[in-house]
Amino acid sequence: MRLLFFYVFFVGLKPSLATNILGNETDVIALLRFKESISNDPYGVLSSWNASSHFCNWHGITCSIKHQRVQQLSLQQCQLHGTISPYIGNLSFLRTLNLASNSFYGEIPGR
């Protein structure tokens, strides 16, 4: 039954829409991996990062209107502690990354 749903849902879509939906999944995974790499979130700013709302509505996230992909990640002055997940490189539409006034350590991941 799942396979049939997958086939009907994704094969029946226009290629650009199917790519957009799969791209959104990539963004969600990248953001959740970023959240996992945070060891301390004293203000709870990442508490909105869960399945109860669309990721474009999560704190610090701005998505492009056309593609609904992460365009901006702004978490400045949140006192976050942790590493920057290499999955951040999977946010292929990301244009602005602002993590100022936090405590990140380790290497900055490449794309």
Ordered by start, the domain boundaries in the chain are 2-104
pTM (two decimals): 0.78
Query: How confident is the model over 35-75, as pLDDT tens digits?
Result: 999 999 999 999 999 989 999 999 999 999 999 999 999 99
What count of residues does the chain have? 111
Residue 46 identity: L
Q: Which residue has the higher pLDDT, 51 or 78?
A: 78
- Strands (E) located in 5-107: 38-40, 61-63, 70-74, 81-82, 96-98, 103-104
Concatenating the DSSP letter of every residue in 34-59 gives HHHTEEE-TT-GGGG-STTS-GGGST
- In the chain, what percentage of residues exceed pLDDT 70? 77
Note the pLDDT of residue 68: 94
Please tell me the CATH code under which domain 2-104 is placed.
Answer: 3.80.10.10
User: 3-class DSSP state for residue 18?
Assistant: helix
Report the distance separating Cα 27 and Cα 71, nearest Å.
Answer: 10
The position carrying tokens 């976050």 is 80
Give how far the C-alpha of residue 17 lies from the chain's centroid of Cα atoms, to the nearest Å: 19
Report the distance separating Cα 8 and Cα 31, nearest Å.
Answer: 28
